[in-house]
Amino acid sequence: MNKKTKVLIVEDETPLAMLMVSILTRLHCDVTVAQNGKKAMELASERRFDLITLDLELPDTTGFAICRELKQRHISYKTPVIFISASPCQQDIDEAKKHGAVDYLPKPFDTTEFIYKVIYYARARRLTPQEPYGSAA
End-to-end CA distance of the chain: 31
pLDDT at 129: 56
Indicate yes or no: pTM above 0.85: yes
Q: Mind listing the pLDDT tens digit for each residue in 15-37?
A: 999 999 999 999 999 999 999 99
pLDDT at 137: 37
Q: Are strands 103-106 and 6-10 parallel, antiparallel or unpaired?
A: unpaired
CA distance 60 to 20: 21
Would you tell me which CATH number, out of the four given (1.10.10.10, 3.40.50.2300, 1.20.1260.10, 3.30.230.10), belongs to the domain 6-127? 3.40.50.2300
Q: What angle do CA 98, 40, 82 make, to 5 degrees?
A: 40
Q: Are strands 30-34 and 6-10 parallel, antiparallel or unpaired?
A: parallel
User: For the chain, which residues make up each domain, given as ranges?
Assistant: 6-127
Q: Provide the 8-state DSSP code for 1.
A: -
pLDDT at 135: 39
pLDDT at 73: 73
Which residues of the chain, if any, have pLDDT below 50?
Answer: 1, 132-137
